[in-house]
């Protein structure tokens, strides 16, 4: 862990200077990736790409090679996981909660042999607007920072969220886990990624103490839901508190594709 860097970031949070610094980092990333992104566009002229700012907001890098390849690979990983635990059905209804600019959900149907009815939701209005007019075969839903989703009770067969609870406060996280439980059918699956024990190395000493005692560390002083609003959850806290109304089928620490977050596979009771 670079303790000096972590202290600088805390100072930027406390002085509310982190947002302008993030803006500068975004501009540098656009410049740094300009040449390779132009090459990607030349090689893939029909591949729809989101505005760079939306990609940076969601993934910290408007890198089109990463956007395309990681999205496809992650969709295939999720399809394999969902097929492992879901009973065969004529059509699976699958929701990505926190879809951003469709990095993963655009590839999901192609990763299944059986038909999929795909849904994507996000609280970023610009992301949902771009997805709705650009990505075919997916129904996109605008949500707010707080529930509810515009989805009926017991409607969804499987929901997944990639690095969403990692950017929410404890109170909002509890509201959303209850909402995901509401929309899942009995026996439905939830695949969720979180920051866990592998992220202790990035914590300051007082954060390590909080993590050990309470099981949750939140770095705030930033807009909740954005990537620089950061949350880390101890596995014991998730089992005992946030995920207590689900059956935990699997917990694979630091294993999710591309972000190395903890992967939790949960089932709603039948």
**pLDDT higher than threshold 70 for residue 68:** yes
What's residue 116's pLDDT?
Answer: 95
55 occurs within a structural domain: no
**pLDDT higher than threshold 60 for residue 131:** yes
**pLDDT higher than threshold 70 for residue 176:** yes
29 occurs within a structural domain: no
What's residue 79's pLDDT?
Answer: 96
14 occurs within a structural domain: no
Range with the lowest mean pLDDT among 55-59, 164-168, 178-182? Answer: 55-59
Task: Report the CATH number that the domain containing residue 184 is assigned in CATH.
Answer: 3.40.50.150
46 occurs within a structural domain: no
What's residue 89's pLDDT?
Answer: 67
CB under 8 A, 24+ apart: contacts of 84-92: 85/189, 85/249, 85/265, 85/267, 86/157, 86/158, 86/189, 87/187, 88/114, 89/114, 89/157, 90/114, 90/115, 91/115, 91/116, 91/117, 92/116, 92/117, 92/157, 92/158
pTM of the model: 0.96
What's residue 61's pLDDT?
Answer: 80
47 occurs within a structural domain: no
Instruction: For residue 265, give the 3-state DSSP assignment.
Output: strand
What's residue 2's pLDDT?
Answer: 77
Instruction: Name the pLDDT band for 143 (thresholds 50, 70, 90).
Output: very high
What's residue 1's pLDDT?
Answer: 53
27 occurs within a structural domain: no
229 occurs within a structural domain: yes
Partners of 139 in beta bridges? 119
User: What are the tens digits of pLDDT across the range 186-241?
Assistant: 999 999 999 999 999 999 999 999 999 999 999 999 999 999 999 999 999 999 99
35 occurs within a structural domain: no
What's residue 86's pLDDT?
Answer: 84
- Could you give the CA distance from residue 147 to residue 238 in angstroms, rounded to a whole number? 20
What's residue 88's pLDDT?
Answer: 65
Q: What is the number of domains present in the chain?
A: 1
User: What are the tens digits of pLDDT across the range 1-56?
Assistant: 578 899 999 999 999 999 999 999 999 999 999 999 999 999 999 999 999 999 99
Range of the domain at 200: 71-268
User: What are the tens digits of pLDDT across the range 109-127?
Assistant: 999 988 999 999 999 999 9
Q: How high does pLDDT run on average in the chain? A: 96
Residues of the chain above pLDDT 90, percent: 94
What's residue 254's pLDDT?
Answer: 98
């Amino acid at each position: 862990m670079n303790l000096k860097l972590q202290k600088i970031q805390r100072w930027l949070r406390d002085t509310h200077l982190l947002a302008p610094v993030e803006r500068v980092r975004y501009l540098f990333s656009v410049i740094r990736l300009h040449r390779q992104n132009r090459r990607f566009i030349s090689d893939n002229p029909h591949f729809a790409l989101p505005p760079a700012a939306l990609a940076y907001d969601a993934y910290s890098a408007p890198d089109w090679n990463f956007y395309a390849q990681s999205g496809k690979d992650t969709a295939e990983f999720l399809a394999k996981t969902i097929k492992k635990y879901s009973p065969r059905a004529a059509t699976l209804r699958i929701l990505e909660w926190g879809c951003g600019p469709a990095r993963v959900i655009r590839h999901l149907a192609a990763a299944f042999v059986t038909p999929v009815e795909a849904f994507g939701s996000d609280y970023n209005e610009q992301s949902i607007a771009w997805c709705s007019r650009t990505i075919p075969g997916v129904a996109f839903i605008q949500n707010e920072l707080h529930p509810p989703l515009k989805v009926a009770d017991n409607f969804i067969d499987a929901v997944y969220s990639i690095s969403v609870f990692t950017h929410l406060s404890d109170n909002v996280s509890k509201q959303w886990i209850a909402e995901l439980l509401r929309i899942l059918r009995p026996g439905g699956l939830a695949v969720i990624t979180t920051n866990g024990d592998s992220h202790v190395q990035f914590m300051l000493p007082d954060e390590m103490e909080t993590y050990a005692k309470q099981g949750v560390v939140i770095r705030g002083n930033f807009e909740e839901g954005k990537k620089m609003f950061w949350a880390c959850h101890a596995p014991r806290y998730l089992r005992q508190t946030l995920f207590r109304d689900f059956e935990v089928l699997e917990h694979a620490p630091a294993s999710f594709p591309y972000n190395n977050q903890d992967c939790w596979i949960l089932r709603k009771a039948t």
